Chains A and B, each alone.
Chain A
């Protein structure tokens, strides 16, 4: 229902400051106002800062460098005869890609995971830190039970089984952003297991190749863990540390290696991000550093006869050696890093090489991933149960309560909005409404529909048109006005928009008048719509029979040659030209084409047929 121009506008609003080539849009439909955030280097690092040295470079500089590099490559490309084999790239079609994703998301909580210190964003450094957060000798962790609320909601929304008992473990490694020398996480007994997420065709960006059937991706587990301190680089080797973020509660969501396409991986991350926001489990998305993804990438030949592919991850067997790419901070980075790593592995294997199990990094705008270090084996982390933290027991009644009060998720909303005649929206429009303004736009839409239904209570036949028409006005017409501004549901109150739409549906005002009315209301005209219509004399006044006749007669006299063509040469199609002229020469909406034709045929005279 949204014409493509508007879709493009919505998409354009969400693209980051342009990188070297036009990119597909995943964070679709964020209003422009939010884009400004991207311009500031607000990058924050979740828990894996060791491999993230590059990520502290200000975002603008990263973009500039990427653009420079791209320009240079293009120049070189022009000066050199291209190698056709290289241009075609590796033989992607001969290989099957397998990807598993780990997503780290900052939970929306008042306090840290193991202390009463407050969680914070952008506060003076080192002002929200308890003794335990600094690993002060003798301090003890105290699990903050309320951090479970967003964690459980997230896991329920991802269809996981909540474990009655879970516990915390220590993952040992030394780095300055982790003062204890270990991260507290849930390795042996995570609090949630065996979930899944379903990706529908409408979850994919417009124009991308997407599967026709829904794709289901298993969630192996969800675990709670600590975030690390924030590091500010002072090149070459100085680091400034702010421990406000240390021990901020995170959840890590681990998918099964069931993704075989880079776009699907990005769509999966985007949907998980949207789900976490929808249940208020996380508030900051990737654009604010509140969510980061690591991807595990492996390839195997489509010809399964080969027996060199014996790796197994999370119970999925017969896979190639995987590499892990850490700390991807945008959906585009997720997709591009997977493509680059897939192509690197294919080239390596086709050249007779071997893929090493290792950790790799990806910098925005780069064409390939870069080795950071050999993969630490899990044994190197020396996981052990944390003896200072008792196991967590979750009352099943609490889980039931959270499940039954969980906000309606996007899949269900889309289903309601698109199936049957209740709302009659397309999946694309439904998901656009859902994604806009943190759900405010959808709430407004429902309100407009409710008010319209009250106005048409005696005409049940109108129900199917109400939903679609309201969608059009809320997304397209009002959406066009809001485009560059912050959404407010009171700027054009829902009752006033419903009034405009009902006039259109009853054909008492013209479409053009309706648009004028809407912009008057949007620009602050305080009169009710009905009063504006009366004051400005906006109602459609149909022509009387006499006026129809006078108009038609005048035209027929004016164009006597055309009348001859019709009457003598039987060029009946020219009647339509007269109809068009009658409509064009009267006020919009006052001439009905059928009636005009009838009057013309009577005057000519012509039989009704032909």
Chain B
């Protein structure tokens, strides 16, 4: 059972029953550190050996992220340097042994009690089931009653087009062409 976190010797420790372990490498605070924040950043020599990222790869990534392409060769070189440093950092993080560790997706209550509370049951859906009817005398079918009026004004009552830069009638307007491959 984790009781808390504490910071010391350049890293975070998870405090357990009568023990504290580094959150990254699980070493205890007395042992010689196996890593440091410094090691996450590339030094000059390392960045030279770092895997080379091609201009083509950079452009591909920028396109996927909808970011503008560099305008000058200098700008591109700077981007490649930054990316390379970031990749070194990611490479170091990937060294951590995460076998049997469930990835942390969000900070939320993951106890059994909370899970039970979140579980979707017949009771959770009883209003929705009440809006269904069975049709047919012999060949019975289920039909959601679409004649029941829906009042969604609490979430729909706002000026949807209010911050649109361009609009035509009730539509948003976007100009775009398919990129040529």
Between-chain CB contacts (< 8 Å), 14 pairs: A110-B150, A117-B152, A129-B156, A181-B66, A237-B176, A237-B177, A238-B175, A242-B172, A385-B106, A387-B106, A393-B119, A394-B120, A408-B140, A439-B139
With a cutoff of 8 Å between Cβ atoms, the chain B residues found around residue A373 in the complex are 181
**Contacting pair B142 A279 (CB below 8 A):** yes
Q: A128-B156, A238-B173 are in contact. Are A388 and B125 (CB under 8 A)?
A: no
What per-residue 1/0 map shows which CB atoms of B127-144 lie under 8 Å from chain A? Answer: 111011000111111111
Q: Which residue of A lies closest to B158 (CB)?
A: A131
Cβ of A243 within 8 Å of any chain B Cβ, yes or no, is yes
Contact residues of A with B, CB < 8 Å? 53, 108-111, 115-118, 124-131, 134, 145-146, 148-150, 153, 167, 172-174, 176, 181, 232, 236-243, 278-280, 373-374, 380, 382, 385, 387-388, 390-395, 397-398, 401, 405, 407-408, 413, 438-440, 442-443, 446-447, 450
The distance from the CB of A80 to the nearest CB of chain B, in whole angstroms, is 33
Q: For the complex, give the distance between the alpha carbons of A118 and B157 in Å.
A: 12
**Contacting pair A241 B124 (CB below 8 A):** no
With a cutoff of 8 Å between Cβ atoms, the chain A residues found around residue B144 in the complex are 108-110, 150, 280
- The listed residue (B150, B160, B176) touching A129 by CB distance below 8 A is B160
**Contacting pair B142 A176 (CB below 8 A):** no
Q: For the complex, give the distance between the alpha carbons of A278 and B176 in Å.
A: 40
Q: For the complex, give the distance between the alpha carbons of A120 and B112 in Å.
A: 38
The distance from the CB of A263 to the nearest CB of chain B, in whole angstroms, is 28
Q: Which residue of A lies closest to B179 (CB)?
A: A373
The distance from the CB of B135 to the nearest CB of chain A, in whole angstroms, is 8
Contact residues of B with A, CB < 8 Å? 64-66, 103, 105-106, 108, 115, 118-122, 124-125, 127-129, 131-132, 136-144, 150, 152, 154-156, 158, 160-161, 168-178, 181
Q: Which residue of A lies closest to B114 (CB)?
A: A390
Q: Which residue of B lies closest to A395 (CB)?
A: B121
Q: Which residue of B lies closest to A413 (CB)?
A: B139
With a cutoff of 8 Å between Cβ atoms, the chain A residues found around residue B143 in the complex are 280
**Contacting pair A118 B152 (CB below 8 A):** yes
Q: Which residue of B lies closest to A115 (CB)?
A: B155
The distance from the CB of B66 to the nearest CB of chain A, in whole angstroms, is 4
With a cutoff of 8 Å between Cβ atoms, the chain B residues found around residue A153 in the complex are 142
Q: Which residue of A lies closest to B143 (CB)?
A: A280
**Contacting pair B125 A146 (CB below 8 A):** yes
**Contacting pair B139 A145 (CB below 8 A):** no
**Contacting pair A127 B125 (CB below 8 A):** no
The distance from the CB of B103 to the nearest CB of chain A, in whole angstroms, is 7
The distance from the CB of B169 to the nearest CB of chain A, in whole angstroms, is 8
**Contacting pair B128 A390 (CB below 8 A):** no
**Contacting pair B119 A394 (CB below 8 A):** yes
Q: Which residue of A lies closest to B108 (CB)?
A: A390
**Contacting pair B105 A393 (CB below 8 A):** no
The distance from the CB of B47 to the nearest CB of chain A, in whole angstroms, is 24
With a cutoff of 8 Å between Cβ atoms, the chain B residues found around residue A146 in the complex are 125, 127-128
With a cutoff of 8 Å between Cβ atoms, the chain A residues found around residue B156 in the complex are 117-118, 127-130
The distance from the CB of B56 to the nearest CB of chain A, in whole angstroms, is 13
- The listed residue (A115, A124, A176) touching B174 by CB distance below 8 A is A176
Q: For the complex, give the distance between the alpha carbons of A385 and B152 in Å.
A: 29
**Contacting pair A145 B120 (CB below 8 A):** yes
**Contacting pair A398 B120 (CB below 8 A):** yes
Q: For the complex, give the distance between the alpha carbons of A390 and B105 in Å.
A: 9
- The listed residue (A118, A149, A382, A407) touching B128 by CB distance below 8 A is A149
**Contacting pair A443 B106 (CB below 8 A):** no
Q: For the complex, give the distance between the alpha carbons of A117 and B153 in Å.
A: 8
Q: For the complex, give the distance between the alpha carbons of A398 and B121 in Å.
A: 6
With a cutoff of 8 Å between Cβ atoms, the chain A residues found around residue B161 in the complex are 126
- The listed residue (A108, A391, A443) touching B138 by CB distance below 8 A is A443
Q: For the complex, give the distance between the alpha carbons of A126 and B140 in Å.
A: 37
- The listed residue (A116, A232, A239) touching B176 by CB distance below 8 A is A239
- The listed residue (B103, B127, B138, B168) touching A385 by CB distance below 8 A is B103
**Contacting pair B152 A149 (CB below 8 A):** no
Q: Which residue of A lies closest to B117 (CB)?
A: A393
With a cutoff of 8 Å between Cβ atoms, the chain B residues found around residue A108 in the complex are 144
**Contacting pair B181 A131 (CB below 8 A):** no
